[in-house]
């Protein structure tokens, strides 16, 4: 299963052609997970109610999963601390939770956000490279 980060979805819905949006277009729908945090990040960017509803329908076609909970919260805090011990300070809590969700669930992550690089380099995050 592949989690597609909001960084890719936002480019996709804005019509930007990148290697990541091309990879997204090729992924079979049953392999894609849309997490609650990612859904929020994507949908909050639409000013028009019609655009909001249309994108919500598109995202509803994929498997939805909540990304939080106590297990993920504790693991994310540990991952943040582990990276800081290596001299790397993660820039965002949401990215830390998304990365941890993927690590714990052994899901791949399709993204175009350098904030995930330390999680891949030091903590074993599996990244889908287009």
Q: Which two tokens stand for residue 48?
A: 């028009």
We report the CATH number of the domain holding residue 74 as 3.40.50.1010
Phi first, then psi, for residue 65 (nearest 5°) are -140, 135
26 contacts: CB under 8 Å, gap ≥ 6: none
pLDDT digits (tens, 9 = 90+) for 58-97: 999 999 999 999 999 999 999 999 999 999 999 999 999 9
What pTM did the predictor assign? 0.94
pLDDT digits (tens, 9 = 90+) for 1-52: 999 999 999 999 999 999 999 999 999 999 999 999 999 999 999 999 999 9
66 contacts: CB under 8 Å, gap ≥ 6: 35, 36
Phi first, then psi, for residue 124 (nearest 5°) are 85, 15
Query: Domain range holding 64?
Result: 2-127
Domain count, the chain: 1
Q: Is 124 left (phi over 0), alpha (psi -120 to 50) or beta?
A: left
């Amino acid at each position: 299963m592949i989690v597609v980060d909001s960084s890719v979805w936002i480019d996709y819905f804005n019509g930007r052609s990148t290697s990541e949006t091309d990879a997204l277009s090729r992924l079979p729908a049953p392999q894609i997970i849309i997490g609650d945090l990612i859904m929020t990040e994507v949908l909050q960017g639409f000013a028009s109610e019609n655009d909001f509803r249309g994108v919500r329908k598109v995202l509803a076609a994929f498997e939805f999963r909540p990304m939080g909970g106590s297990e993920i919260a504790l693991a994310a805090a540990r991952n943040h601390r582990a990276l800081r011990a290596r001299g790397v300070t993660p820039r965002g809590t949401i990215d830390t939770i998304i990365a941890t969700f993927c690590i714990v669930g052994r899901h791949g992550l399709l993204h175009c956000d350098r904030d995930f690089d330390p999680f891949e380099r030091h903590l074993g995050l599996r990244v889908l490279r287009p």
